[in-house]
């Protein structure tokens, strides 16, 4: 069965409910997010000049209803810095700043040129892939009792980067992560690319020393249900594993109807449960092609691998943990999911794997308001049908959840402020009509992530200043009368330090980047083969569960076992101390000062993207210039995007 992934034409108005039904939507006891997406009329505004886009009209109409006004636009200098960090995770170059400031075009045209250039940069995928990796609990090791390495997890990471850079339609992006091995492909390379996407399902933190194989499999299925339902749909279906969901319209039978789909699939991550009796579990070339299908590229035998890659016992024998070991990367192997033994999953009473009741049919979920899944063929797991169901244009959750994630990263908070929970316990949307408007535009725009980001960034709402009166009636900015300042996360912070010092490379590290150490009979200790001192972008550094670098935790890097669509933002002393006396910062600050020719104005332009004021120049005179750089790096002006 071919998956339905065609682009929805603009004329497909009747796919969505009409605004006359909007009142009924909120009277229905079914959660708002399960209800049909409605095409609301574009609201009229008293001020017809301010809005640049229909998005702005929804924002302004709500403000005018409360007798409020949006604050003024930010300056071009601040705007290009905001756009550069939002799209590339790096500051703009001085050439880019000067070009934008001197562009004689009207602001709308000049800024559109900036946004378009940044969207086409390869740095875009590196920036936005990290947002997605947070959501799907990406890591390079399994964690828990035996922290075994995921030798090929990086292939999935790179797949996300490349998919975003290519602007792969989001419905395709979703489908390949659920059923990439089942979607038809024209070439071997495309087939391999699709199956790498299924690596998302193999990234869970599992107890590979679990004594009960059935318990291990049910835990793995539960992890897959949790990540799929929360990442793509924003609902917590996994809460119904042991009993009917306490707050959502999800029964335990619904859970096991979905569980049967993953129960009938085989997960290959290279970290088998000890009862499996195998020492491998990677997707091989044979799983990537349908023999003797005629494809464009012949599939040869796998390249010979260095010792230690096929056997976990050998891997644990690598020896001295302080020794730097690098491996070649075999392009034929990856983590992923393929079809397994097809069988429905018996309901586990109270979650007990040894007390079971009759299995519901795979895919026969009866969640109110949501459309039913397509019929699943007897000899299929149902992953393809699940992907079809989730990516249909009128599904009420998939497009809403994603446009909310995009909005959150550009505006600081989502229209729904609980991005991973669109259920009853989650927050209601602050602008429900706008959320539906954006969801429809997203689908009708071919599910293009870049197009939707462009729409949001070229809006007047995105270009607002961040300054504001704390006595404002909407001090929390619920109605979006100003922009929210955003603190730089770990990745752009570290990457920028390296770039300013002239040390950052945009190459991707080659080979396998994690290894396990320790002798037989002992729990393995996984370590990264790259460190925070290496010159690669932070997204390419290994994420080892239960062993992340101190720098990561200092700046609120999410726990890699968590599904985390929105990072915590803490203010703690170690963050300030990092800029004051961390050896890496001291080293980079000295190199930044040298790169600026040890000249005060050049240092300000390099670090903050602007000239110093007369007062600042006077205060800086007589200072050690490395100290000046460190002081500037510790300022809110450097650490925040305004």
Chunked into runs of 10 residues, the chain (642 residues) has average pLDDT values of 42 47 48 94 98 98 97 97 98 97 98 98 98 98 90 95 98 98 90 94 93 94 98 97 94 97 94 56 55 37 36 36 54 87 97 96 90 94 98 97 98 98 95 98 98 98 93 94 97 98 96 71 73 97 94 96 96 94 96 95 96 95 94 96 97
- Give the residue numbers spanning the domain of 229: 139-298+332-390
Q: What is residue 594's predicted lDDT score, i.e. its pLDDT?
A: 96
Strand partners, 525: 517
Q: What does the alpha-carbon distance between residue 290 and residue 323 come to, in Å, rounded to a whole number?
A: 42
Q: Kindly give the pairing relationship between strand 486-487 and strand 640-641.
A: antiparallel
Say if residues 220 and 226 touch (Cβ distance below 8 Å). Answer: no
Q: What is residue 277's predicted lDDT score, i.e. its pLDDT?
A: 44
Q: What is residue 223's predicted lDDT score, i.e. its pLDDT?
A: 98
SS3 368: coil
Q: What is residue 316's predicted lDDT score, i.e. its pLDDT?
A: 33
Residues 6+ apart with CB under 8 A from 453: 87, 119, 406, 410
Q: What does the alpha-carbon distance between residue 195 and residue 215 come to, in Å, rounded to a whole number?
A: 26
Q: What is residue 381's predicted lDDT score, i.e. its pLDDT?
A: 98
* Nearest one of 511, 515, 534 to 524, comparing CA atoms: 515
Say if residues 84 and 91 touch (Cβ distance below 8 Å). Answer: yes
Supply φ then ψ for residue 577, to 5 degrees. Answer: -65, -30
Q: Is residue 215 part of a domain?
A: yes
Q: Is residue 346 part of a domain?
A: yes
Determine the distance from the C-alpha atom of residue 369 to the mean position of all C-alpha atoms in its chain, rounded to a whole number.
28
Say if residues 450 and 437 touch (Cβ distance below 8 Å). Answer: no
Structure tokens at 82: 């905001």
Residues 6+ apart with CB under 8 A from 104: none
Structure tokens at 452: 């939707």
Identify how many contiguous H helices and E strands the chain contains and give both numbers.
24, 10
Q: Is residue 92 part of a domain?
A: no
Q: What is residue 212's predicted lDDT score, i.e. its pLDDT?
A: 92
Q: Kindly give the pairing relationship between strand 347-348 and strand 356-357.
A: antiparallel
Q: What is residue 304's predicted lDDT score, i.e. its pLDDT?
A: 37
C-alpha Rg value of the chain to the nearest Å: 26
* Domains of the chain: total: 1
- Cα separations (Å) of 264 from 178, 346, 547? 13, 12, 33
Q: What is residue 574's predicted lDDT score, i.e. its pLDDT?
A: 95
Can you give the pTM of this predicted structure?
0.91
State the virtual CA torsion across 150, 154, 155, 158 in degrees, nearest 10. 160
Supply φ then ψ for residue 176, to 5 degrees. Answer: -70, -30
Q: Is residue 343 part of a domain?
A: yes
Host H or E run for residue 339: strand 336-339
Q: What is residue 209's predicted lDDT score, i.e. its pLDDT?
A: 86
- Cα separations (Å) of 130 from 62, 339, 362, 453, 548? 33, 29, 33, 16, 16
Q: What is residue 5's predicted lDDT score, i.e. its pLDDT?
A: 47
Q: Is residue 188 part of a domain?
A: yes
Say if residues 248 and 235 touch (Cβ distance below 8 Å). Answer: yes
CB-count exposure of residue 325 (10 Å: 0-12, 13-18, 19+): middle
DSSP string, 399-438: HHHHHHHHHHHHHSS-SSS-TT--STTSPPPSSHHHHHHH
Q: What is residue 17's predicted lDDT score, i.e. its pLDDT?
A: 54
Q: Is residue 361 part of a domain?
A: yes
Q: What is residue 292's predicted lDDT score, i.e. its pLDDT?
A: 77
What's the first-to-final CA gap in the chain, in angstroms?
A: 49
| Tokens 């001291």 found at | 586
Structure tokens at 355: 């007390």
Q: Is residue 60 part of a domain?
A: no
- Per residue in 113-127, pLDDT tens? 999 999 999 999 999
């Amino acid at each position: 069965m071919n998956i339905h992934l065609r682009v929805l034409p603009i004329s497909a108005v009747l796919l969505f409910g009409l605004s006359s039904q909007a009142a009924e939507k909120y009277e229905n006891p079914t959660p708002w997010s399960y209800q049909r997406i409605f095409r609301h009329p574009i609201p009229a505004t008293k001020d017809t000049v301010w809005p640049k886009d229909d998005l702005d009209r929804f924002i302004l109409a709500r403000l005018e209803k409360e007798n409020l006004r949006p604050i003024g636009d930010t300056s071009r200098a601040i705007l290009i810095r905001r756009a550069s960090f939002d799209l590339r995770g790096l500051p703009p170059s001085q050439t880019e700043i000067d070009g934008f400031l001197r562009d004689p075009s009207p602001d709308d045209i000049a800024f559109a040129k900036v946004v378009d250039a940044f969207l086409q940069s390869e740095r875009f995928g590196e920036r936005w892939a990290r947002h997605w990796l947070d959501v799907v609990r990406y890591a390079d090791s399994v964690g828990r009792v035996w922290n075994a390495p995921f030798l090929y997890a990086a292939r999935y990471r790179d797949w996300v980067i490349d998919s975003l850079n290519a602007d792969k339609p989001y419905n395709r992006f979703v489908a390949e992560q659920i059923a990439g091995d089942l979607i038809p492909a024209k070439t071997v390379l495309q087939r391999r690319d699709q199956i790498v996407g299924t690596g998302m399902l193999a990234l869970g933190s599992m107890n590979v020393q679990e004594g009960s194989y059935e318990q291990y499999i049910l835990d793995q299925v539960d992890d897959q249900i949790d990540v799929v339902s929360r990442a793509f749909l924003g609902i917590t279906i996994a809460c119904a594993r042991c009993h009917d969901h306490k707050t959502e319209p999800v029964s335990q039978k619904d859970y096991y109807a979905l569980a049967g789909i993953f129960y009938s699939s085989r997960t290959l991550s290279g970290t088998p449960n000890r009862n499996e009796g195998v020492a491998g579990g990677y997707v091989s070339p044979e799983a990537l092609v349908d023999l003797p299908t005629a494809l464009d590229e012949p599939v040869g035998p796998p390249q010979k691998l260095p010792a230690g890659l096929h056997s976990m016992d050998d891997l644990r024998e690598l020896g001295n943990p302080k020794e730097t070991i690098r491996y070649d990367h075999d392009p034929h192997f990856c983590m992923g999911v393929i079809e397994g033994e097809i069988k429905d999953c018996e309901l586990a009473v109270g979650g007990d794997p040894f007390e079971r009741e009759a299995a519901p049919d795979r895919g026969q979920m009866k969640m109110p308001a949501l459309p039913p899944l397509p019929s699943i063929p007897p000899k299929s797991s149902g992953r393809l049908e699940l992907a079809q169901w989730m990516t249909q244009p009128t599904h009420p959750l998939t497009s809403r959840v994603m446009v909310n994630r995009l909005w959150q990263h550009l505006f600081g908070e989502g229209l729904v402020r609980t991005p991973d929970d669109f259920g009853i316990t989650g927050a209601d949307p602050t602008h429900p009509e706008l959320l539906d408007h954006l969801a429809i535009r997203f689908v009708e725009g071919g599910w293009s992530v870049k197009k939707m980001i462009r729409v949001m960034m070229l809006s007047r709402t995105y270009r607002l200043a961040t300054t504001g009166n704390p006595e404002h009636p909407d001090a929390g900015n619920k109605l979006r009368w100003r922009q929210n300042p955003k603190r730089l996360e770990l990745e752009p912070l570290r990457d920028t330090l390296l770039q300013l010092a002239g040390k950052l490379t945009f190459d991707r590290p080659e080979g396998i980047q994690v290894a396990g150490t320790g002798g037989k009979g002992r729990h393995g200790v996984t370590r990264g083969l790259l460190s925070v001192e290496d010159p690669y972008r932070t997204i390419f550094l290994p994420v080892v569960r239960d062993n992340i670098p101190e720098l990561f935790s200092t700046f609120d890097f999410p726990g890699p076992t968590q599904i985390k669509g929105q990072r915590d933002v803490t203010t703690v002393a170690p963050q300030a101390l990092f800029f004051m006396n961390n050896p890496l910062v001291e080293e980079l600050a000295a190199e930044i000062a040298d790169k600026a020719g040890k000249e005060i104005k050049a240092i300000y332009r390099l670090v903050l993207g602007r000239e110093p004021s007369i007062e600042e120049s006077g205060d800086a005179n007589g200072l050690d210039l490395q100290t000046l750089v460190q002081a500037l790096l510790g300022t809110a002006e450097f650490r925040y995007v305004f």
